[in-house]
Chain A
Amino acid sequence: MAAAIALIFFYAPLDEDGLNQKIFYFHVPIAFTAYACFGWGGWKALRHLWKRDEDADLESYVAIHLGVIFGLLTLVTGSIWARYRWGHWWVWSEDQLVLFLVLFLFYCAYFMLRFSLPPGPQRANLSAVYALFGVALIPVSILAIRLSQRFIHPIAFDKGGPNMAGSQFFTFCVAVLAMFAVAATLYHLELAGKRLDVRLRELREALQ
């Protein structure tokens, strides 16, 4: 992460967007990380339903939890950027923003569903099915920028490749890797805590 920040501020050149463009190096990798977390949560949900892997339910939950946090960060960092660039915190006519908000709220509702049910196989199965439905929204959200009629949101990548200089693209790739590394670390940390919690509960029940 330190390397990514150093590259962003001391290596990547400024473009016509000015210093404000530095937000792109954090905002887009955070959005990609949120999509990756939701995708990983969906994959683990599928494994739970397919292989009846009990541990996959917990892994899916932790991935979606992280995805919601990175999703919130995407919305906040995007809004700050939009406030400076467009003069508005939020633009309802922009499909990509609204679809990302829908995706975010959809996964927020995942927790309402999960915690409204008692722990057990029913909760795990319903949560897994819900998480899988959410995965369908991910490509729609990513492709929304191409479906949009107004094209207010900047397009960083098109059919010809990245719309940026080589040094900017390199910095962007390092920032994406750094954000993925942060998410992976937090994922394993939270998962270890959750597993420990479950084992301790089992141990307490066995001892009492």
Chain B
Amino acid sequence: MTTEEKYVAAVYLVVFVVLLAYVFIIGLKLQRLERELAELTQLALRKKEEPERKAVAVG
């Protein structure tokens, strides 16, 4: 590989790595949001069940 080829390869590699890192970070963030959404769904379901349980206990 000539010096010129190394410089050209370096440029394309830098761009590729930076964009890949950016996509990876967004991917990690979306994973976190997915976990939070699952947590909130559980919380909402528990809240929904709570008044029903109370009604059964009284009866």
Residues of A within 8 A of B (CB): 5, 18-20, 22-23, 26-27, 30, 69, 72-73, 76-77, 80-81, 83-84, 182, 186, 189-190, 193, 196-197, 200, 203-204, 207-208
Contact = CB atoms under 8 A, between A and B. Distances in A.
- Majority-rule SS of A interface residues: helix
- Majority-rule SS of B interface residues: helix
A87 B22 CA distance: 30
Given A19-B4, A20-B8, A186-B26, 20 more contacts: A5-B12, A18-B4, A19-B2, A19-B5, A19-B8, A23-B8, A26-B12, A69-B22, A73-B18, A77-B11, A77-B14, A80-B11, A81-B11, A83-B7, A84-B4, A182-B19, A186-B22, A189-B23, A197-B29, A207-B40
B56 interface: no
Interface of B: 2-5, 7-8, 10-12, 14-15, 18-19, 22-23, 26, 29-30, 33, 36-37, 40, 43-44, 47
